[in-house]
Every structure is written in structure tokens, then in C-alpha cells.
């Protein structure tokens, strides 16, 4: 990739201004470039040449003070050469340019010393890395570190190396099965994902995004705060993957990885912690995890090189992962035992075309998919033995493909235009195998009346409770246009950042005859749900012991879409040699459309998001940096709320007592205790878009403040500290107490009604609702936050981060982080991790006043202490050892029950209120989960007889085999005053110890 020749003869100040603010290196969130700068001996005819193996070659002038600075360069490895009158005086090889960072390479008359910022070591006498040009908080992990460290092969596992990034506490995963992470106390869906500048975030729930094959990652940039006005749509963090590119030399490689079952420890069993169900299958055993099996293998290949030297380059990588599992489900699950195979093909291709010296085109294609199929069997939980075949499991296909094109034009020496456009399509295919529509799905068999089943739960071979459209999937289009102009001591950047998304044929409907059965039990003299008019079982035949069954009917299939547009302006101002200011302003607009293509959320008025940052090079030699950042971040709604609040949905329950159980597990001798009822008024009606949301609904926003420093300590160490404060200022969720809104409208003299199940509101503040009166006119019903019965919205996060780093010196590298933090308030965000509820912005929270009472406390992703230590040691050219340690304090425990001392259920949600045994139970009142300790180690042997191109590696994950609980069931009651045996039972644990063996060869 060749840059414009006209740049080669710019005076230094003009050159620096063309690519940054004065001589301050530019830094961009989610960028794909970096830069070089440094100091050389002052002499006439001196220049500095930077060149890599992908066609980029630049001769840079040196100013009167001996300073030079490059424009934005593609990331990669460079050679930096000091020239005088065209003759080579000295050179530095293998200088790494990192994404969004500036690397310093300086030559002195005595030593020609070379240094590199952000952990890149150029020579043994290099000073430690400090990037004085950045005002944000980020961690960059490059391909060499990825090859050396013992890491899981996902973008999220890599991201956990960054301070403040922890596993989510709700067990949330992406569509392709990757476990998600939480940044700075935020929800697991508050993060943005990028590949080569293209936004790959899941548009439906924002749960993860498409990621690269592990071997295709050149660098992964993990933003934990403070990023530029050029980017938004995240109030958690950013995972930006930059893929590899071809060079002047053809390179090939293959790798095979294996995670054998013999090296995997047995899982820890889970036992009922609060009693035993009436029809328990094996006493107090809840989940027999010791029988679980997991064998994983991955084969990968890559190739890259020049198609036309200095003109056209290609890099391609592909991997196929296969996972064979054997899983014994918990004894309350309908499908007891499953054998499955998941195939996960991933590929990546990058073309770099230097059209001319001033025009560059980059094309990216990527795919990240998973396909799973399996079979269900009976299982004898007492004998610990698999039984007869029941049915094939649903066949599932998830993930998808993307392509993007990025065009860069250096219009003049001071004016640069960048345009990017791309599309992504993901699928969510799920089809039952051997589906028998004559069978009715049955669950809750452990709660069946033992008088009718002889103490042995009765079910059937129906393994599917819902059917979905095989064409279900998501579509995303991302368009960016950026223009940078250098003038004086300022570089002004302006641009647009637009994203459109569509969720097609989403949702499902009940299988079999269109309904399912669920068995349960209550105290016989206590009404099951007085708010819905469902009485006590003792008032009905066969109800003397409290046993009843629910008939569940569900139907929802819809296509919804959204547009998200943004404009920004940013000034990078080099005030003097030591002080850099970054002043930005972003304006976001969001519009969401319902299943009838009618806009039900219109947030097109200006939503200003200022981004202000500074970097102070205290000593003027990049040895001591003080930096800070203040910004506002808006987050648009994912598409999911349109399905729950703005689409026609049927979701009803009818209650019965029963006098017998048929051979297929369905109830017989039914006596209706109610008609079909819906606590959310979901009877299949299409909501009116004018009444779906509160008037003037504003977007979720968060304010963030950062202040920190980084300093060298001698020639080989860097240390630092950072303070961060985040305050969630606004949020959106659904409010479902229709009766309260109708009562207020009656007080205002309206004879009004609504067909809504719920309204989308701004949580924890006053809202104005729109209803329809008897004459068909729209009327407005304002309600204060007090009338809604809510506390003020609150989620505040503060942290102190400390670091100590020893950059790689040819022998060893290490980094230590400690984070003290608190995430406190009455809402987690768009998800609710304590109950693993992934319905973004339509969680149980804020549905009514009762659900938010006593909700204030440490939130679900609160981990007060986080200790991370990782590194590697090169014993000799053949042997390398590595380790990665994370010690993290536990998240808060929860005890949820029915509402109040009387155990009522005002929202028909069951055991979901912040009460425990009739007493208020705030988050954390029950204490916290235990600390987790995860120690992973690795060793690599690259024999000299193969010229170190052949490598054998072994990694052991969770060496200590500590399978501590990450989540306990919070539901304390089955029905009012009836203890739930599952309460306090472990439902999510650390993975057992396992090993990964690999062999690779690079040609």
C-alpha cells in the first residue's frame, strides 16, 4: 500500500498537521491505523524512511529540532531507517505499529536508541512504553501475544485481559455460543463489536457480534472508556478486531488444536439447596455434571502475500472447530440427556489495493457461524445411566457473513477523505428434527401430583416447546464518511456514522396443538394469582394438596427495523509541545419501526454527546503522562423491544386442577380455575404506535469521567493509576401496570382505554402516556415518578485501576492490574443477569412499582476486587512458558420471592420481587458469591531443527480446578409461603479444568 509521494516533501509541521494535531500522533476509536514519530540528530540532509512489506514506504522530513512524524499508517511491522543525503546511517527493524497508537522510534548520535509505545519493544535498550498521544483507555493485544498467552480463542476471552472487563454474571452468550463480558459494571449487551472498522454488533439483542478466526487477528483493541466522538452506540466497552493483511512475501500456515476428554476434569454436581421436590428423580441431586463430556478440535489454515507487488495484496484465513458434547440436563429439564455435535466454520479475507499513490481501497469479508444437531435420550438419575433414544434435537444454524469496503483518498496534503460501506447478514435457524405435531410439550414434571404418577414423573418425546420461521435472521448496513482537514495547530474531523438494521421473521409460536402444559404446586388455601382472578386450588376438585397445571399459549412472529444516524465534529489541538486537547461533539438520532413498518420511537432531535479529553506529557520526554476524559454516550435500542412492545403477540395462561395424568404426560380430569388470562394483556392485538411509548421518549445515555497517569520506573517498568466514574443518566424499559395508567386517566376525567400490553418508558422519571378515549381521540395522561411508584433511576460505577507492566525485552513480559470498583443502583441496564433475562430493554425491571421496591443495591455485574496478572517467559529460542491469572470477588447474592409480607403477586410474575420470607431483600443483603480464581498456564516448543517454524503447544485452563458458582438460583418460593427447593442452588459454575494441545507450522 503506497501513500502519496507528495507527503514525502512536506515540512514537518505541515506533515504533522496533515495527520494529527501539530506533532501529536492521532488516535481513533475502532480505527485500523497507527503512526510513528521520534527524534534524530540534527544535521542537514537528514530524513527518516518508514516502510513495511505491504507497499507502504514514506520518506519523512526532519525539523530544526530533530523531530519527525508519520501520517496514519496501516498497522503492521515496519523498518525505520535514518538517512543523511540518501545514505543509510542506522536502521531499526521489526517496529510494530499498533492500532490507534503512536510508536516512537528515536535515534541519537551515541546509541541510536529505539523505543515503542504501548508495549512494543524494538531493541533491548528501549525505554518503557507510554503513549502520550491518547486520551482514552484501551488495551491492545497483538498477534504475537495471542500466540504466546494461554487464552480462550474468542474475542471476549481476549478482552478479559483489559482491566475492568469481567465475565457476565447471567450466563449470556452470543448467537454463536461465545460467553459475553461486562465492561465497567454495564450490561453484557452494552458493548460494540467491530471488524476492520465495520460494526458487527448483533442488532436484535446486542448480545455479542461476528468476530474473526483467532489466527486472523492482527490486533484486538479493547476500549474501556473515553473514546472519540467519531464513534458511539456503546455505554459499556468496545471490542475492535483488526485482521491481518498480505505482505510482499507469501506466507502460509496450518494449525491443529485438540481439547481431549481425558484431560478434562469431571464437573461438580449441583444439589438442591432448600429442600427436595415432591417428584424428585434422585433425591436432592439437581444436576449430575460429572457425566458431562466435551471434546473440541480445531483445524485452521492461512495464506497471504502479493498478487501484484506494491499494488495488490491478499490475506485469507479459515478455521473449522468441531465440538462433541454429552450433557446430562438438570432433573427439572424436559430433555434429560443430549449428545450433540457443533460445527463452527469461520473465515476471513482481506484485499488491499493501492489504486494510486493517493487512493487506496480495502475490501474485507468475514464469516462466523455455528451449526448444531444432536439427539435426546432418557436418563436414569439414580443409576446414573443413559436410557433409550427419545428424539432428535432441534437443528440450529446461527451466525452469518459480512463484507465491507473502505476507500481512502488523500485529496490534498491537508485534506483526507475516508468512506466505508458494508453489509452483514446473520441467521437464527431452528427447526425440530422428527417433529411430531400430535404431541404436546410438557414441563415441570417434578411438580406432578405423586398420587397420579406413582412418584415417577411422566413426560413424552416432544422436545420442542416453540416453532420459529426457518427464514429468521438479521440484516445490518453500516455507512461511514469521514473528512479530516489540517489547519494551523488544529486537525478538524467531521463525518457521518449511519447504521440500519432489520430483524426478519423473528419470534416463535407454541408447538404441538398450539399450547404447552406446565405442572406446578401451591399452598392449597392460598390463591394462585388473585390479581388475575385465579383462586386457591382447594376450592376446586382434586386441588386439596395444591397441585395444578397451566395451559400456556404463545404466538409472535414479526419483522421490525431501525435506523441509527450520527454526525460528529472533532478538533485535535496541540496547544504546545506537551499538551494535547481532543474536543469532540457527536449527535445521535434513533428511529425504531414496529411490525407494521410504523415508527414507534422517533429520537431525531439533537442528542448532543460532548467528548472532551487531554494528554499532558509532563516531562516532555514521554516518561510521565497525565490524561483525562469526560464524555456522554448514547445507546440506541436494539430491535428486540419492538417484538415485545410493538408487535401483535399472544401470551396467555389458563389454570386447571387435574384428576389424572395420561401416558404422554398430559393432564386428564381437568377442572378450569380460570379462563385464558394474560398479566401483560397479550391477546394478539397489534399495538398502536402512537400509544406504544411514552411521549417524548429519550434515548439511554451515560456520562463518564476519567483521570489517570502513566509513568516509567527506570528503564524496564511502567506503572500507573486511573480513576473512572460512570453515571447512567437515562434508560428505557417497559412499564406494564396498565391499571395505574387507566386510573390516572379516569382522575383526569377521561373515559379512555388502551390495547397495549406494556408501554416503553424512560425508567425512574415522569412519563406522559397516550390513550384513546371513547370517541376515538388520543388523550395524554401525565404521571409523575411518584405516581408511577418508582425510585429515581440509578446506576453508578466508580473504580480505581492500578497497573504495573514490564514490556517484552526479548526475554520476558508481564502485566499486573488491580481494580477496586463498585456498581451500585437499582438497575443493571438493558438486561437482568440475576435471573438470566436477555430480553433487552423489556426486562422485569420497571414493569410496575412492586418489582422495583427494594431494588437498590450492588448490581449484578458488581465485582469489588479484580486482580489480573499475565505474561510469558522466553527460556531460550526453543522454549516459552506463559501464564494468565484472574482473581475476582463474587457478584451479589439475591433472594427473590412473592410481594410483601402477605405474598401477593401484583404483576403475575411469581417469585420475582425483592422480598425474602416476606421481608425486604435488597441486592447483596444475602452477601456475595465466593471469589473466583482462574489460573491458566502454557508452554510452547519450537525446535531449532525446523527453523522454529514448527511449534508444539500445551495449555491448561483452570489449573486449580476451582468450579465455584457464578450464579445461584434466586427464586425463594414456588408459590406464596411455599419454599422453592431450587433456591440457592448453583445454576452456573466455572468450567472444569481442561487442556488444549496444538501443533502448527508456518511456511
- 199 pairs with which residues across the strands? 194
b/e per residue, 856-873, with b = 16+ CB within 10 A? bbbbbbbbbebebbbbbe
Cβ burial 284-302 (10 Å sphere, 16+ → b, else e): ebbbbbebbebbbbbebbb
The cell for 345 is 466454520
29-43, 133-147, 234-248, 393-407, range with the lowest pLDDT: 29-43
Q: Provide the CB-side half-sphere exposure for 302 (13 A, CA).
A: 29
Cβ–Cβ < 8 Å for 90, 124: no
**Among 416, 568, 574, 412, which residue's Cα sits nearest to residue 484?**
416
What average pLDDT does the segment 78-92 reach? 88
pLDDT for the residue numbered 272? 96
Distance of CA 564 to the CA centre of its chain: 19
Percent of the residues in the chain that have a pLDDT greater than 70, as a whole number: 95
Residue 284's pLDDT band, with cuts at 50, 70 and 90, is: very high
How confident is the model over 509-522, as a mean pLDDT? 94
Whole-number pLDDT of residue 129: 64
The phi, psi pair for 291, rounded to 5°, reads -90, -5
For cell 468450567, name the residue. Answer: 991
pLDDT in tens, 302-317: 999 999 998 999 999 9
Cα(338)–Cα(326) distance, integer angstroms: 6
Could you give the CA distance from residue 996 to residue 990 in angstroms, rounded to a whole number?
17
Q: Where is average pLDDT lowest: 110-114, 143-147, 829-833?
A: 110-114
* CB distance 833 to 843 below 8 Å: no
CA–CA dist 77, 902 (Å, integer): 69
Check pLDDT > 80 for residue 718. Answer: yes
pTM: 0.88
Bridge partners of residue 573, in order along the sequence:
490, 581
How sure is the predictor about 461, in pLDDT bands with cuts at 50, 70 and 90? Answer: confident
Integer CA distances (angstroms), 13 to 476, 620, 858, 938, in order: 41, 18, 51, 47
**pLDDT surpasses 90 at 133:** no
Stated as kind and residue range, the H or E segment containing 827 is none
Residue pointed to by grid coordinates 484486538: 220
Return the C-alpha cell found at 925. Answer: 443483603
In 774-924 the beta strands, taken as DSSP E runs, fall at: 778-783, 795-806, 812-825, 857-858, 865-874, 879-888, 915-916, 919-920
For 177, phi then psi, to 5°, come to: 90, 10
Mean pLDDT across 501-525: 94
Chain position carrying cell 433409550: 388
Q: 3-class DSSP state for residue 190? A: coil
Average pLDDT over residues 460-467: 88
884-905: string of b/e by CB count within 10 Å (b at 16+)? bbbebbbbbbbbbbbbbeebbb
CA distance 538 to 794: 43
Residues forming a β-bridge with 558: 506
Q: How far apart are CA 306 and CA 251, in angstroms?
A: 10
Query: What pLDDT, on a 0 to 100 scale, did the predictor assign at position 127?
Result: 38
768-801 tens-digit pLDDT: 999 999 899 999 999 999 999 999 999 999 999 9
Q: Report the SS3 class of residue 172.
A: coil
Q: What is the pLDDT of residues 528-587, one digit of tens each?
A: 988 789 999 999 999 999 999 999 999 988 999 999 999 999 999 989 989 999 999 999
pLDDT at position 2: 34
Around Cβ 61, how many Cβ atoms within 10 Å? 19
What would the grid cell of residue 824 be?
451500585
State how beta strands 608-617 and 671-672 pair: unpaired
Angle subtended at Cα 793 by Cα 791 and Cα 798, rounded to the nearest 5 degrees: 125
Q: How much is the pLDDT for 433?
A: 81
Residue 526: count other Cβ atoms within 10 Å of its Cβ: 20
Contact of 352 with 313, CB cutoff 8 Å: yes
Least Cα distance to 833 among 863, 788, 864, 797 occurs for 863
Mean pLDDT of the chain: 90
Closest by CA position to 82, among listed 52, 108, 120, 121: 108
411-422 confidence digits (pLDDT tens): 887 788 999 999
- Identify the band that residue 110 occupies on the pLDDT scale cut at 50, 70 and 90: very low
DSSP state for residue 128 in the 8-state scheme: P
pLDDT tens digits for range 904-954: 999 989 999 999 999 999 999 999 999 999 999 999 999 999 999 999 999
Residue 592 to residue 74: CA distance in whole angstroms: 37
Please, which pLDDT band fits residue 30 given cuts at 50, 70 and 90? Answer: low
Q: In the chain, what is the greatest distance between 2 CA atoms, to the nearest angstrom?
A: 103
Over 90: is that where the pLDDT of 17 sits? no
Strands (E), 466-605: 466-467, 473-487, 490-510, 516-521, 547-574, 579-593, 599-603
Is the pLDDT at 13 greater than 70, yes or no? no
- How, if at all, do strands 395-410 and 385-392 pair? unpaired
Please return the burial class of 789, using the count of CB atoms within 10 Å of its CB with bins 0-12, 13-18 and 19+. Answer: middle
| pLDDT band of 113, cuts 50, 70, 90 | very low
Backbone angles phi, psi at 890, to 5 degrees: -75, 160
Phi-psi region of 474 (alpha: psi -120 to 50; beta: other; left: phi over 0): beta
Dist CA 480 CA 744 (whole Å): 46
Which cell numbers in the block locate residue 697?
A: 421518549
Locate 865 and state its grid cell: 476486587
* Count of Cβ atoms closer than 10 Å to residue 776 Cβ: 6
Buried b (16+ CB within 10 A) or exposed e, 448-485: bbeebbeeebbbbebbbbbbbbeebbbbbebebebebb
Of 503, 533, 556, 645, the closest CA to residue 205 belongs to 503
Q: Look up cell 530544526; give the residue.
A: 64
- Measured in residues, the chain has a length of 1003
* Residue 959, C-alpha cell as written in the block: 489449573
The Cα angle at residue 290 between residues 287 and 294, in degrees rounded to 5: 105
CB 627 within 8 A of CB 134: yes
Measure Cα distances from 226 to 229, 613, 723, 795 in Å: 9, 8, 12, 18
Predicted confidence (pLDDT) per residue in 863-881, tens digit: 999 999 999 999 999 999 9
Gyration radius from the chain CA atoms: 30
Containing 745, the helix (H) or strand (E) segment is: helix 738-747
β-strands 579-593, 599-603: how paired? antiparallel
748 contacts 781 by C-beta, under 8 angstroms: yes
Do 25 and 57 meet the contact criterion of CB atoms below 8 Å apart?
Answer: no
Structural contact between residues 165 and 224, judged by C-beta atoms closer than 8 angstroms: yes
Nearest Cα to 317, choosing from 215, 218, 385?
A: 215
**Mean pLDDT lowest for which of 530-539, 604-613, 811-820?**
530-539
Integer Cα distance of 427 and 371 in angstroms: 11
Cβ-based neighbours of 701, under 8 Å, separated by 6 or more: 235, 607, 609, 632, 633, 634, 635, 728, 729, 730
Q: Contact at 8 Å (CB) between 635 and 700?
A: yes
* Beta carbons within 8 Å of 674's beta carbon, 6+ residues apart: 532, 533, 534, 654, 655
The pLDDT, as a whole number, for residue 67 is 79
Q: Name the residue among 494, 419, 612, 491 with its Cα closest to residue 69.
A: 491
Can you give the pLDDT at residue 37? 78
- Whether the CB-CB separation of 712 and 618 falls below 8 Å is answered with no
Q: How far apart are CA 219 and CA 145, in angstroms?
A: 9
> Is the sign of the CA dihedral 663, 668, 673, 678 positive or negative?
positive
Nearest to residue 929, comparing CAs of 991, 858, 845?
Answer: 858
Amino acid at each position: 500500500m503506497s501513500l502519496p509521494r507528495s507527503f514525502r516533501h512536506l515540512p514537518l509541521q505541515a506533515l504533522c498537521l496533515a495527520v494529527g494535531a501539530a506533532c501529536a500522533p492521532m488516535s481513533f476509536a475502532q480505527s485500523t491505523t497507527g503512526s510513528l514519530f521520534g527524534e534524530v540528530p540534527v544535521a542537514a540532509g537528514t530524513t527518516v524512511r518508514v516502510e513495511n512489506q505491504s507497499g507502504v514506504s514514506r520518506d519523512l522530513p526532519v525539523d530544526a529540532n530533530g523531530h519527525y512524524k508519520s501520517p496514519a499508517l496501516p498497522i503492521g511491522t515496519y523498518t525505520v531507517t535514518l538517512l543523511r543525503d540518501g545514505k543509510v546511517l542506522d536502521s531499526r527493524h521489526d517496529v510494530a505499529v499498533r492500532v490507534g497508537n503512536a510508536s516512537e522510534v528515536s535515534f541519537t548520535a551515541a546509541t541510536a536508541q529505539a523505543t515503542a509505545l504501548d508495549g512494543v519493544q524494538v531493541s533491548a535498550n528501549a525505554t518503557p512504553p507510554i503513549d502520550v498521544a491518547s486520551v482514552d483507555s484501551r488495551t491492545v493485544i497483538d498477534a504475537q501475544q495471542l500466540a504466546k498467552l494461554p487464552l480462550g480463542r474468542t474475542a471476549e476471552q481476549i478482552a478479559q485481559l483489559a482491566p475492568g472487563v469481567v465475565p457476565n454474571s447471567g450466563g449470556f452468550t452470543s448467537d454463536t455460543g461465545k460467553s459475553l463480558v461486562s465492561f465497567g459494571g454495564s450490561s453484557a449487551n452494552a458493548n460494540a463489536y467491530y471488524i476492520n472498522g465495520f460494526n458487527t454488533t448483533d442488532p436484535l439483542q446486542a448480545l455479542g457480534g461476528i468476530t474473526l478466526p483467532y489466527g486472523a487477528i492482527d490486533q484486538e483493541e479493547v476500549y474501556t472508556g473515553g473514546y472519540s466522538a467519531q464513534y458511539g452506540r456503546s455505554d459499556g466497552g468496545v471490542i475492535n478486531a483488526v485482521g491481518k493483511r498480505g505482505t510482499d512475501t507469501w506466507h502460509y500456515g496450518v494449525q491443529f488444536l485438540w481439547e481431549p476428554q481425558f484431560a478434562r476434569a469431571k464437573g461438580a454436581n449441583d444439589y438442591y439447596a432448600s429442600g427436595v421436590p415432591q417428584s424428585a428423580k434422585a433425591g436432592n441431586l439437581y444436576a449430575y455434571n460429572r457425566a458431562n463430556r466435551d471434546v473440541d478440535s480445531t483445524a485452521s489454515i492461512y495464506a497471504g502475500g502479493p498478487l501484484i507487488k506494491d499494488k495488490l495484496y491478499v490475506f485469507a484465513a479459515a478455521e473449522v472447530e468441531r465440538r462433541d458434547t454429552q450433557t446430562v440436563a438438570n432433573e427439572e429439564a424436559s430433555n434429560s440427556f443430549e449428545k450433540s455435535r457443533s460445527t463452527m466454520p469461520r473465515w476471513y479475507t482481506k484485499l488491499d489495493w493501492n489504486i494510486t499513490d493517493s487512493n487506496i481501497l480495502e475490501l474485507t469479508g468475514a464469516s462466523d457461524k455455528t451449526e448444531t444437531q444432536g439427539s435426546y435420550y432418557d436418563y436414569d438419575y439414580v443409576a446414573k445411566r443413559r436410557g433409550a433414544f427419545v428424539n432428535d434435537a432441534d437443528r440450529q444454524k446461527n451466525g452469518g457473513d459480512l463484507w465491507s469496503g473502505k476507500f481512502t483518498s488523500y485529496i490534498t496534503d491537508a485534506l483526507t477523505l475516508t468512506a466505508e460501506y458494508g453489509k452483514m447478514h446473520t441467521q437464527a435457524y431452528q427447526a425440530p428434527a422428527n417433529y411430531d405435531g400430535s404431541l404436546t410439550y410438557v414441563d415441570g414434571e417434578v411438580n406432578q401430583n405423586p398420587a397420579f404418577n406413582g412418584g415417577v414423573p411422566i413426560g413424552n418425546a416432544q422436545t420442542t416447546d416453540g416453532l420459529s420461521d426457518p427464514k429468521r435472521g438479521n440484516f445490518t448496513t453500516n455507512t461511514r464518511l469521514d473528512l479530516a482537514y489540517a489547519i494551523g495547530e488544529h486537525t478538524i474531523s467531521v463525518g457521518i456514522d449511519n447504521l440500519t438494521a432489520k430483524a426478519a421473521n423473528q419470534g416463535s409460536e407454541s408447538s404441538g396443538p398450539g399450547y404447552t402444559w406446565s405442572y406446578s404446586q401451591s399452598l392449597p388455601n392460598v390463591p394462585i394469582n388473585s390479581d388475575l382472578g385465579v383462586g386457591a386450588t382447594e376450592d376446586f376438585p382434586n386441588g386439596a394438596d395444591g397441585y395444578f397445571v397451566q395451559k400456556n399459549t404463545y404466538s409472535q412472529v414479526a419483522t421490525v427495523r431501525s435506523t441509527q444516524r450520527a454526525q460528529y465534529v472533532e478538533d485535535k489541538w496541540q496547544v504546545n509541545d506537551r499538551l494535547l486537547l481532543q474536543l469532540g461533539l457527536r449527535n445521535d438520532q434513533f428511529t425504531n419501526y414496529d411490525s407494521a413498518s410504523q415508527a414507534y420511537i422517533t429520537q431525531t432531535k439533537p442528542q448532543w454527546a460532548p467528548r472532551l479529553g487531554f494528554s499532558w506529557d509532563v516531562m516532555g520526554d514521554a516518561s510521565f503522562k497525565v490524561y483525562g476524559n469526560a464524555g456522554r454516550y448514547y445507546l440506541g435500542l436494539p430491535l428486540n423491544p419492538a417484538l415485545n412492545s410493538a408487535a401483535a403477540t399472544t401470551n396467555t395462561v389458563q389454570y386447571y386442577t387435574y384428576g389424572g395424568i395420561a401416558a404422554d404426560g398430559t393432564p386428564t380430569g381437568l377442572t378450569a380455575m380460570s379462563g385464558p388470562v394474560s398479566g401483560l394483556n397479550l391477546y394478539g392485538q397489534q399495538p398502536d404506535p402512537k400509544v406504544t411509548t411514552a411521549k417524548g421518549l429519550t434515548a439511554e445515555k451515560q456520562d463518564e469521567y476519567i483521570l489517570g497517569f502513566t509513568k516509567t520506573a527506570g528503564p524496564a517498568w511502567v506503572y500507573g493509576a486511573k480513576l473512572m466514574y460512570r453515571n447512567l443518566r437515562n434508560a428505557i424499559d417497559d412499564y406494564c401496570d396498565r391499571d395505574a395508567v387507566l386510573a390516572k386517566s379516569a382522575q383526569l376525567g377521561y373515559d379512555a382505554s388502551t390495547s397495549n400490553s406494556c408501554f416503553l418508558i424512560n425508567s425512574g422519571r415522569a412519563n406522559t402516556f397516550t390513550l384513546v378515549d371513547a370517541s376515538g381521540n388520543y388523550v395524554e395522561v401525565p404521571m409523575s415518578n411518584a405516581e408511577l411508584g418508582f425510585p429515581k433511576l440509578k446506576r453508578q460505577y466508580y473504580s480505581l485501576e492500578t497497573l504495573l507492566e514490564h514490556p517484552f525485552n526479548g526475554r520476558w513480559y508481564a502485566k499486573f492490574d488491580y481494580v477496586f470498583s463498585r456498581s451500585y443502583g437499582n438497575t443493571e441496564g438493558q438486561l437482568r443477569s440475576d435471573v438470566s433475562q436477555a430480553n433487552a430493554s423489556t426486562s422485569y425491571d420497571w414493569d410496575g412499582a412492586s418489582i422495583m421496591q427494594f431494588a437498590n443495591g450492588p448490581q449484578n455485574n458488581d465485582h469489588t476486587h479484580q486482580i489480573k496478572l499475565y505474561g510469558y517467559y522466553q527460556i531460550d529460542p526453543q522454549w516459552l512458558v506463559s501464564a494468565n491469572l484472574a482473581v475476582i470477588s463474587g457478584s451479589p447474592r439475591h433472594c427473590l420471592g412473592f410481594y410483601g409480607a402477605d405474598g401477593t403477586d401484583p404483576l403475575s410474575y411469581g417469585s420475582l420481587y425483592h422480598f425474602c420470607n416476606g421481608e425486604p431483600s435488597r441486592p447483596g443483603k444475602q452477601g456475595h458469591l465466593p471469589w473466583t480464581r482462574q489460573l491458566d498456564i502454557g508452554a510452547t516448543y519450537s525446535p531449532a531443527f525446523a527453523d522454529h517454524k514448527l511449534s508444539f503447544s500445551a495449555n491448561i485452563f483452570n489449573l486449580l480446578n476451582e468450579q465455584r458458582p457464578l450464579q445461584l438460583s434466586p427464586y425463594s418460593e414456588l408459590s406464596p409461603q411455599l419454599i422453592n427447593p431450587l433456591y440457592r442452588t448453583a445454576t452456573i459454575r466455572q468450567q472444569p479444568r481442561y487442556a488444549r494441545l496444538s501443533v502448527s507450522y508456518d511456511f
